[in-house]
Amino acid sequence: MRFLTIKLLTATALSLSLAACVPDPSLVEAGIVEAPAPKIVEGVYSSKNDGTFTVPAVPVEKVPSEFQRQTVYYPTEEPVGTVIINPAAKHLYLVTARNQATRYGIAVGKAGFQWSGEALITNRRPWPTWTPPSEMISRKPELAQWEKGQPGGLTNPLGARALYLTTNGVDYGYRIHGTPEWDSIGKNASSGCIRMINQDVMDLYERVLDGAKVVVLNADGSYPNGLKLPPKPAAAKKKPAVAAPATAVAAATPSAPVLTAAPAALPGASQTVLPAATTPTATLPTATLPTTATPAAAPASPLPAPTVAPAAATPAAPVTSPSACMIALVNGICPQG
């Protein structure tokens, strides 16, 4: 009896599922039925005229099939029109029916730029102007030319469309947008925004409404519990341009006292040092050394030089000898002489 009941329930579920073309998630999880295979939407990446611009075709053969637009089975409790982003799988889902969604390939933030949480689409713009934030200009100074905004166009990083996200009324700078770099899809390539192939973002732009809910899952695929933003990069410290010259001047300052200290030390030095330094100079030009009867005294030591100088004054002694004449001088000469 129990077996018949289970079989009846299974048959009923199958009939309901087939009627809706989408199986019940509980039956898929139980292994009773298989989930429908993803179905690629054909012919959506050809060239497309869009007002002033013509969006170039994308070489589909170079885009992995998992990142091409597809209709997929996607069990969720979120209402139709909700956008769910799985950064780990590089997929964006637009819920189109119960347990069904359109899936697009995307590119997400590079390491250090990932985020998760819930947001609302509060604005949508075709061919939007792109203004790089100051943090991005600091990382890439060549972008300073667009600090006032780069006009929309085929080379604009935001591509053909942009959907602007806010959380609790705050714009954190995150966008769902197109890109001319279709080959970045399926990679961690952005600064936190969600990139899509231009043809895909144009399709999404037409199918969502302002105020639509956006859920960005955690890195492990789980639902976020609040908004998680990446840490802000630390501001680079600028080196003072005058630091090096100031150090050079300071290093040269001690050399001045060294020069003035040397002469100051001479008066305070021992007096015996000065004659030792000047003795060779005084000895060489002395003309009395050859006239003295003791030439050997010069090579013996330079120190006796001061005693030789007084000896040179002894010849003046005979000048006083006339005072010793015992009789009157004749014409200034002692007759005894």
DSSP 326: S
Going along the chain, which residue ranges are E strands? 39-40, 48-50, 53-55, 70-73, 83-86, 91-97, 100-109, 117-126, 161-166, 175-179, 188-190, 194-197, 213-216
Q: Report if residue 50 sits inside a domain.
A: yes
Q: Is the pLDDT of residue 24 over 50?
A: yes
Q: Is the pLDDT of residue 12 over 90?
A: no
Alpha-carbon distance 204 to 207, whole Å?
5
Alpha-carbon distance 329 to 336, whole Å?
9
Q: Which residues of 304-322 are buried (b: 16+ CB within 10 A; e: fewer)?
A: ebeebeeeeeeeeeeeeee
Read off φ and ψ for residue 255, nearest 5 degrees: -70, -25
CB-count exposure of residue 140 (10 Å: 0-12, 13-18, 19+): exposed
3-class SS of residue 179: strand
- What pTM was estimated for this model as a whole? 0.64
Residues in CB range of 171: below 8 A, 6 or more apart: 122, 164, 165
Alpha-carbon distance 177 to 124, whole Å?
10
3-class SS of residue 84: strand
Q: Report if residue 328 sits inside a domain.
A: no
Using 50, 70 and 90 to split pLDDT, how confident is the model at 272? very low
Q: Is the pLDDT of residue 318 over 60?
A: no
Q: Which domain holds residue 45?
A: 36-216
Alpha-carbon distance 32 to 49, whole Å?
46
Q: Report if residue 10 sits inside a domain.
A: no
Residues in CB range of 163: below 8 A, 6 or more apart: 121, 123, 124, 175, 176, 177, 201, 204, 205, 208
Alpha-carbon distance 297 to 316, whole Å?
22
- Indicate the number of domains in the chain: 1
Q: Report if residue 199 sits inside a domain.
A: yes
Residues in CB range of 14: below 8 A, 6 or more apart: 23, 27, 32, 33
CATH number of the domain encompassing residue 148: 2.40.440.10
Q: Is the pLDDT of residue 238 over 70?
A: no
Residues of the chain above pLDDT 90, percent: 48
3-class SS of residue 147: coil
Using 50, 70 and 90 to split pLDDT, how confident is the model at 26? confident
Using 50, 70 and 90 to split pLDDT, how confident is the model at 104? very high
Using 50, 70 and 90 to split pLDDT, how confident is the model at 101? very high
Alpha-carbon distance 299 to 280, whole Å?
11
CA 109, 111, 115 angle in degrees (round to 5)?
A: 50
* pLDDT value at residue 191: 84
Q: Report if residue 44 sits inside a domain.
A: yes
* pLDDT value at residue 146: 82
Q: Is the pLDDT of residue 263 over 70?
A: no
Q: Report if residue 67 sits inside a domain.
A: yes
Mean pLDDT on 126-149: 87
Q: Report if residue 334 sits inside a domain.
A: no
* pLDDT value at residue 68: 98
105, two tokens:
């390939």
In this structure, which amino acid lies at residue 52? T
Q: Is the pLDDT of residue 201 over 80?
A: yes
What are 155-169's pLDDT values in tens digits?
Answer: 999 999 999 999 999
Q: Is the pLDDT of residue 53 over 60?
A: yes
Q: Report if residue 195 sits inside a domain.
A: yes
Using 50, 70 and 90 to split pLDDT, how confident is the model at 28? confident
Using 50, 70 and 90 to split pLDDT, how confident is the model at 133? confident
